[in-house]
Amino acid sequence: MKKYKKIVHLAPLDQSRFKVLYIFNLIIILCLLGRLVKLQVFNASDLQREARLLQSSKTNSLKKRRSIVDRDNRLIAYDKPLYKLWAHPKYFNFPGDSINKVRTIEEVVKKLAPILDMNNAALLGKFNNKISGIKLLDKIPEGKAVKIKNLQISGIDLFKYSQRYYPQGELYSNLVGFVNDENKGSAGLELHLDNQLKVFNKSNSIKRGGDGTPLPDNSGPGDFISDYKSLGLTIDSKLQKSAFNSLSKQVSKWKAKKGFAIVMDVNNGQILSLVTVPSYDPNKFWKYNSELFRGWYSQDLFEPGSTFKPINLALALEEKVIEKDGSVEDIGKINVGGWTLSNWDKKGNGYIDYPKVLQVSSNVGMVKIMQNLDPKIYWTLLKNLGIDKNLETDLYESTAGQLKAKDLFVNQSIEPAVAAFGKGFAISPLKLVQLHAALANGGFEVTPHVTQNFKERVNQSSKKQFFSHSVSKTVLEWMESVVDKGSGAGAKIEGYRIAGKTGTSQKALNGSYTSKKVCSFVATLPVNDPKYVVLVVVDEPSKSYAYGSTVAVPVAKEIIESLIVIEKIPPQIKDHEMIVKKP
């Protein structure tokens, strides 16, 4: 049987149907095009921002500060990492649990309590029936934080932060200061050198691909490396401790208001020790009176008294108004402009040479010596010493000294007379150290400083010379006689050449002198090759017979003894004396 093929007759497409399909496809294309324009043009910035958020991960940027170390890299201040513990009970889940399982607070407490050294009931009470955002504990050390992290409990969060810690306590507080609860420098070097101590992060994000792999970007080398730099000080901690203990003992013994001691290298201004008493614990700064936070050794002024006499003798020698081997008559008192000035003991000393003037601390002798100098020249010389200028240093902001106006100084004869023995003007203890350093190093100005990188700025500045080398050498030898056989004899150490000068000055209040005293002693050693200056100032000792020789000298001697050991200073043989040891 034959099969016949079916013949299909083609008919033209229905025009209305074709139009519907065409319009439908056109609408889809236009919608897609509109969507594309919206994404590429109108939403581009938003989408880029969202992409960055997905592709980048934020690092935990801490408010960190650099450590502070002494010259031997011993820690003085550093940031200690601590943690805050937060809990969200509605998310409590242990490793291996199903996603929907929620552990009880009691189950979590049972795991946390042993690590935190707390009993279960105490820790449980901190939850206070809240289900989220519960701050359980603060100041958790890193060791415990690691143990808590290892528990891998969902709903437990640890927030890392940094807290400043001062391992040497009160030993450095008046120098270094402290940071407050917001980690901001609030006193001492922490405040004054805040920008050098803060760690500035260059970047705090890392770009990542879809699988979490870090992608290359424009970050520079070291952008994400921890800052291991520290602020190095010139201070020696062993000498610092010795000086602090000696000063504390003497301030307590004499029931004084406060005390200050410093050891400085006369050639470069590096401070090896700087202590003040009373002090405070910077780890608990909130417990102390804010008055203790001041750096009074550079901010408070005092009349230097007899410790300035060697400076005046150097000025007189420099101007050639006295001869090296000259002498002066001291009858115990002198009348100047209607005022009677006398020696501290009201006694005369007859004809005495200039070393003897320092040995007995003769006020009358100094007045007569400086009367040989024209008052205009004398005032200019004091001005050139920078008496009334701020001291540029890396310590606290210094207070400019006080010097009488030139007209008053020149026209009132009493002014240059009292200035001759260190009265009528005022300077900071730190300025007095600077001047005696110049007297020791051949006459050159140095800048007292405690940071090791400060020397770069010192080298760039031209040194100012106050005295000639010969004058400095002469006055230093005169000061040596004060320790050998004068008021500074208490600082004498066998085999060592030490120069010094005591000072005892009354404190002025509202233009009148009171019974309150400032006792001081300045020493330089070794005389044959000056390297160190030591200054001790004790303010308002309240017991009888308080003088520089009785109050300040014993402290200086103990500091010098420690300095000799720490710096390994060998004994010296004096030019005029042989030290012979018996076999």
CA distance 341 to 361: 14
Sign of the Cα pseudo-torsion (489, 491, 494, 498, in order): negative
Residue with tokens 């001691």: 261
Q: Per residue in 76-96, is it b (16+ CB within 10 Å) or e — as a string?
A: bbbbeebbbbbbebeebbeee
**Per-residue buried b or exposed e for 418-427, using 16+ beta carbons within 10 Å of the residue's own CB:** bbbbbbbbbb
Q: How far is CA 294 from CA 76, 245, 277, 280, in A?
A: 19, 20, 12, 11
CA 186/CA 19 separation, integer angstroms: 81
Between CA 18 and CA 22 the distance in angstroms is 6
- Please check whether residue 234 is in contact with residue 450, taking contact to mean a CB–CB distance below 8 angstroms: yes
Strand ranges, E, within 20-155 = 56-58, 67-69, 75-87, 134-141
Residues β-bridged to residue 519: 504, 538
Q: Which residue among the candidates 306, 472, 520, 562 is catalytic per the annotation?
A: 306
**Is residue 572 within 8 Å of 497, Cβ to Cβ?**
yes
User: What single-letter amino acid sits at 98?
Assistant: S
| 507, 569 Cβ separation under 8 angstroms | no
Q: Is 468 a catalytic residue?
A: no
Instruction: Quote the distance between the C-alpha of residue 396 and its chain's center.
Output: 8
Cβ atoms 47, 160 nearer than 8 A:
no
Q: Do residues 527 and 507 touch, judged by C-beta distance below 8 A?
A: no
Active centre residues (catalytic): 306
